[in-house]
Amino acid sequence: MKNYLKYLASPNVPSDVGEVFVNWEFPEYTEKRRSKAWYISVSVILALLILYAVLIGNYLFAIILVLGVFTVVYQYFEAPRSVPVVLAEDGIIIDREFFPYKAIKSFWLIYEPPDVKYLYLSFHSNLKRNLPIPLENANPLKIREALLTYLDEDLEKDEEEFSEVFSRMMNIH
């Protein structure tokens, strides 16, 4: 287990987080295979938007659109990296970020396999929005048991957040 934490070594993660209860990994994003029609329609819309931006003299908008295209093309050819999650005695590590339990207000699990398997974290700070963490093949009962020791479970929340549902419906997540 210590080797796993060594991999997470980061200035944002303490060197010792106590006992590790559960860990798992999830892909940074879900690879979506889209049809040729999708690519053609998006290309036409983007070309029209870029043409419109140039015609009205809004070159910044045109540049932003072109940069967006490059980002999407780059992501298409890049495999998603694996994001580690560690539930430990002192807090939660997600990728290379450490969240102490005192910063987290509550958690809830939405588990409706095979499509919906998320752990949500709600923070005390109003500046941070709720954080959805895909569970993949992690055992939700072990995760719940580990978190109940340190956090309150929000039993009123029993559905995915709208942004997650919308992303899945639009095939962009």
Q: What is the pLDDT of residues 8-37, one digit of tens each?
A: 566 667 677 778 889 899 988 777 777 888
Residues 93 and 151 in one domain: yes
Residues 97 and 58 in one domain: no
Decide if pLDDT at 83 tops 60: yes
Q: pLDDT-derived band of residue 90, with 50, 70 and 90 as boundaries?
A: confident
- How many domains does the chain fold into? 2
Residues 116 and 145 in one domain: yes
Residues 44 and 92 in one domain: no
Strand partners, 152: 106
pTM over 0.75: no
Residues 94 and 155 in one domain: yes
Distance CA 90, CA 100 (A): 6
Distance CA 65, CA 70 (A): 9
- Of the listed ranges 27-31, 129-133, 148-152, 168-172, the one predicted with least confidence: 168-172
Residue 53 is part of which domain span? 36-77
Residues 127 and 156 in one domain: yes
